[in-house]
Amino acid sequence: MMDVFVAADNIISPLGATSRSNFGQVRNGVTGISRQPGGYFGAVIPDELLAPLAAAAQLQASTRFEQLLILSMQDALSQTGISLQNERTALIVSTTKGNIALLEEGHLETLRLYDTAAKVAAFFGAANKPLVISNACISGLLAILIGQRLIRSGRYDHAVVTGADVFTPFVLSGFQSFQAVSDEPCRPFDAARKGVTLGEAAGTVILTKDKTLLAGTVTRLGEGASSNDANHISGPSRTGEELAGAIRKAVGNSGLQPADIGFVSAHGTATLYNDEMEAKAFHLAGLENVPVNSFKGHYGHTLGAAGLIEAIAGMHSMYGNVVPGTAGFQQSGTSLPLQVSGLPLHRPMEHYLKTTSGFGGCNAAMVFSKVTL
């Protein structure tokens, strides 16, 4: 299989506007979750962080969602010599709700996800039409996997994979209708967990097959896989078998054994059923002795951006040989115990595994490995 590498990355979240600033905050146990004016908890990017960046990029006329995508892409692209104006560069946009805030304002004509993706592509003068990935909460990780496959197909040399979702009353009301929103900051895998905390963020990874553009320690994409529970429109599998199948494929096709995985960056939404399903899946996949973390206690659940920003945070954790603590975790709350800790764990590692799950029963898993070039 052709090797595909991560040439650059970016995260914009309440914890900062670069991957480095975000990882520094996560490593120190800082959370972006806070009480919002409506009384609920959420991880919302403060205007004092986003507004100056948007003004500098002359994006005042763009929506918040568009600003997040463009600013994240700009930072990542600035770290490379890769251009979207090159016909050998693909553009992939991951999101679940996109410009859904416009629905609340009555602007129905600009709601389509593809229209927004095309607008972002035009901003950068992209030579190719964008590809939109919107598959519930696995969208971000699935977009990375598809970017890898597009490069391996021979059609592209590089792929810019970007994604975002915005915290809006519309999205909040949807999760409230499931009675799935916690009245305190979320506590993944904890016995006292009460549900999700929502967040907003953007992330970008730039993929390439060209080693000459890289130097030092970088991430090489391992193998990935997706599956579906076919269980329920919103409720996950009760056995974990389907996520376990995707994990086994990702790890096995990467030529690895469970013991080779430094840690698992779980989906870890802090809902009763998601965390229980993942615990069962990790045991079925032979990962019961591998450290597990969830970034949701730092970022909230960022929907279509979650798989991207958490994959990036996981890469930087891998570089630093650290398993970040799971914010909010105190006592195990799953029927099958996992190696989860509220405190960071330092251990040598060469690989880690990212998993995601979402409405409709979708699951995805992917291995990431660090190499020195």
257: exposed, middle or buried (Cβ count in 10 Å: 0-12, 13-18, 19+) = exposed
106 pLDDT above the threshold of 80: no
Q: How far is CA 307 from CA 14, 21, 166, 209, 310, in A?
A: 17, 18, 15, 22, 5
Mean pLDDT across 296-324: 98
Tell me what pLDDT residue 155 has.
Answer: 97
Contact yes or no for 222/152 (Cβ under 8 A): no
Share of the chain above pLDDT 90, in %: 90
Superfamily of domain 217-372: Thiolase/Chalcone synthase (3.40.47.10)
3-state per-residue secondary structure call for the chain: CCCCEEEEEEEEECCECCHHHHHHHHHCCCCCCEECCCCCEEECCCHHHHHHHHHHCCCCCCCHHHHHHHHHHHHHHCCCCCCCCCCCEEEEEECCCCCCHHHHHCCHHHCCHHHHHHHHHHHCCCCCCCEEECECECHHHHHHHHHHHHHHCCCCCEEEEEEEECCCHHHHHHHHHCCCECCCCCCCCECCCCCECEECEEEEEEEECCHHHCCCEEEEEEEEEEEECCCCCCCCCCCCHHHHHHHHHHHHHCCCCHHHCCCEECCCCCCHHHHHHHHHHHHHCCCCCCEEECCHHHHCECHHHHHHHHHHHHHHHHHCCEECCCCCCCCECCCCCCEECCCCEECCCCEEEEEEEEHHHEEEEEEEEEEEC
| Each residue's pLDDT tens digit, 325-347 | 999 999 999 999 999 999 999 99
Contact yes or no for 93/117 (Cβ under 8 A): yes
Domain with CATH 3.40.47.10 in the chain: 4-213, 217-372
Radius of gyration over alpha carbons of the chain, in Å? 19
In the predicted model, what is the mean pLDDT of the chain? Answer: 96
Tell me what pLDDT residue 175 has.
Answer: 87
Q: How far is 137 from 120, CA to CA, in rounded Å? A: 21
Q: Residue 178 — very low, low, confident or very high, per pLDDT cuts 50/70/90?
A: confident
Least confident of 12-21, 84-93, 107-116: 107-116
Mean pLDDT across 20-43: 96
| Each residue's pLDDT tens digit, 225-281 | 999 998 787 778 899 999 999 999 999 999 999 999 999 999 999 999 999 999 999
- Which residues, at least 6 apart from 54, have a Cβ–Cβ distance to it below 8 Å? 60, 62, 67, 71
Tell me what pLDDT residue 237 has.
Answer: 80
Bridge partners (DSSP) listed for residue 358: 362
Q: How far is CA 111 from CA 93, 104, 115, 129, 292, in A?
A: 15, 11, 7, 18, 37
Structure pTM?
0.97
110 pLDDT above the threshold of 80: no
253: exposed, middle or buried (Cβ count in 10 Å: 0-12, 13-18, 19+) = middle
Q: How far is 359 from 175, CA to CA, in rounded Å? A: 11
| 4-213 maps to CATH 3.40.47.10 | yes
